[in-house]
């Protein structure tokens, strides 16, 4: 038995025939010390609902419950994992709700009430679309923090500062919506099977308001144009946004000879706000 009184994860996997499937981004964590460390990063856990995406055999789920989560809602696409998760639910009566669903299509706001924290070892193939989906949904959001595992390279793109090579669309949308911090790396050998690259845990705390205010769709258009040609000056990379862009930059006192990576997150939102009001 493990310290939570449940069988070791390797035994659970063998008993339920949960061989890892690449198509579902399945790389499991067996070390309860490690999953408890991830769970503790999202503390305090006793005052809110914790939403976990992709619990799989339940390594992180068990850690969240051990660390005192009042209620965990676990959303898993792979039906094979459900019996293993039901054993955990039986061990912690009333504290684990299991939902079989595709997280990319799930209507979160309709199902999750009150303050929720998202904690997940995300499947790599859907990690970025899930994050951007949450950040571009109606604001203020239904979650109060996101503690998520990404490939290290994606984590660096989320927290990147202007001027760095990783600074781009993901940094802009993430930092416009939230404060974003990389907490720690996890060696690839901690996973079964080990992925090719190192992982990192990132925490995002959503801002009450996304300032400067602008239309998310316009902001995405601006950053797509700017970073689509990141070596070019704004005057040419943003040309596709319409003839008024030169005047917009001028009015905002943003030099048209800068390149995308030299602009602060707030400047992109200011451009989007000005363009949005012109096209409205
Ligand atoms: N939480 C477990 C752990 O830390 O060991 C498993 C993490 S594994 C990287 C990703 C999990 O997400 C798998 O259990 C996989 O089946 C699940 N998953 C993959 N695509 C999903 C989707 N679209 N919606 C919900 N879960 C998904």
pLDDT for 280: 43
SS3 assignment for 104-172:
CCCCHHHHCCCCEEEEEECCHHHHHHHHHHHHCCCCCCCEEEEEEEEEHHHHHHHHCCCCCCCCCHHHH
Name which residue sits closest to atom 21 of ligand 1, judged by CA: 77
- Statement: 216-279 belongs to CATH 3.20.20.70: no
Local structure of 121: helix, strand or coil: strand
Q: Is the pTM of this model over 0.85?
A: yes
The predicted pLDDT at position 252 comes to: 98
Could you identify the atom of ligand 1 that is nearest to the CA of residue 27?
A: 9
In degrees and rounded to multiples of 5, residue 66 shows phi and psi of -60, -35
Residues lining ligand 1, Cβ inside 6 A = 24-29, 53-56, 59-60, 75-78, 81, 102-104, 121, 123, 126
Task: State the Cα angle at 170 between 268 and 191, rounded to 5°.
Answer: 165
Residue with CA closest to ligand 1 atom 12: 54
pLDDT for residue 184: 98
For the domain bounded by 9-206, which CATH number is listed? 3.40.50.150
Taking the CA of residue 24 as reference, the ligand 1 atom at the shortest distance is 19
Residue 183 class from Cβ within 10 Å (0-12 exposed, 13-18 middle, 19+ buried)?
middle
Q: What's residue 279's pLDDT?
A: 53
Closest ligand 1 atom, residue 9 Cα: 5
The pLDDT, as a whole number, for residue 278 is: 63
Sign of CA dihedral 148, 151, 152, 155: negative
Answer whether 242's CB lies under 8 Å from 171's CB.
Answer: no
Cis peptide before 193 (omega within 30 of 0): yes
Q: 99: which strand partners?
A: 75
Give the integer Cα–Cα distance in Å for 240 and 204.
32
**Local confidence pLDDT in tens for the 280 residues of the chain:** 889 999 999 999 999 999 999 999 999 999 999 999 999 999 999 988 999 999 999 999 999 999 999 999 999 999 999 999 999 999 999 999 999 999 999 999 888 877 899 999 999 999 999 999 999 999 999 999 999 999 999 999 999 999 999 999 999 999 999 999 999 999 999 999 999 999 999 999 999 999 999 999 999 999 999 999 999 999 999 999 999 999 999 999 999 999 999 999 999 999 999 998 765 4
Domain span(s) for CATH 1.10.8.100 in the chain: 216-279
Chain region(s) in the chain for CATH 3.40.50.150: 9-206
What pLDDT shows up at residue 109? 85
Q: Which of 69, 6, 74 is nearest to 41 (CA)?
A: 69
- Per-residue model confidence (pLDDT) at position 13: 96
Whole-number Å distance, alpha carbon 149 to ligand 1 midpoint, is: 11
* Atom number in ligand 1 closest to CA 191: 5
Measure the CA–CA gap between 44 and 159, rounded to whole angstroms: 23
- Ligand 1 centroid to Cα of residue 81, in Å, is 10
Q: What pLDDT is attached to residue 262?
A: 97
Instruction: State the pLDDT at residue 69.
Output: 97
Atom of ligand 1 nearest to the CA of 56: 14
- Do 59 and 9 meet the contact criterion of CB atoms below 8 Å apart? yes
Span from the CA of 122 to the centroid of ligand 1 (angstroms):
6
CB 45 within 8 A of CB 68: yes
- Residue 170's contacts (CB-CB under 8 Å, 6 or more residues apart) are 128, 131, 132, 154, 157, 158, 160
Q: From ligand 1's centre to the CA of 53, what distance in Å?
A: 6
Q: How many CA atoms lie within 13 A of 132 on its CB side?
A: 15
Quote the crossing angle between the two packed helices 82-91 and 59-66, to the nearest 10°: 10
């Amino acid at each position: 038995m493990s310290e939570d009184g449940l069988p070791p994860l390797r035994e659970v996997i063998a008993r339920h025939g949960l061989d890892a499937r690449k198509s579902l981004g399945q790389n499991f964590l067996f070390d309860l010390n490690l999953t408890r460390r991830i769970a503790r990063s999202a503390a305090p856990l006793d005052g809110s609902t914790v939403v976990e995406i992709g619990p799989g055999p339940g390594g992180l789920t068990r850690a969240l419950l051990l660390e005192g989560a009042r209620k965990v809602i676990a959303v898993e696409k792979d039906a094979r994992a459900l019996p293993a998760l039901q054993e955990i639910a039986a061990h912690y009566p009333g504290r684990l709700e299991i939902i079989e669903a595709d997280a990319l299509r799930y209507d979160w706001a309709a199902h999750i009430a009150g303050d929720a924290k998202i904690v997940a070892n995300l499947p790599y193939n859907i990690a970025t679309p899930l994050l951007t989906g949450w950040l571009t949904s109606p604001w203020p959001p239904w979650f109060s923090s996101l503690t998520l595992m990404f490939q290290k390279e994606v984590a660096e793109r989320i927290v990147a500062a202007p001027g760095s090579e990783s600074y781009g669309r993901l940094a802009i949308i993430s930092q416009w919506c939230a404060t974003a911090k990389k907490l720690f790396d996890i060696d690839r050998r901690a996973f079964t099977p080990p992925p090719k690259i190192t992982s990192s845990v990132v925490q995002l705390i959503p801002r009450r308001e996304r300032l400067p205010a602008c239309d998310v769709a316009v902001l995405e258009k601006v950053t797509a144009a700017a970073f689509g040609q990141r070596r070019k000056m704004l005057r040419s990379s943003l040309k596709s946004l319409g003839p008024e862009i030169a005047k917009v930059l001028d009015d905002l006192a943003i030099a048209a000879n800068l390149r995308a990576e030299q602009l602060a997150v707030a400047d992109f939102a200011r451009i989007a706000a000005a363009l949005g009001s012109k096209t409205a």
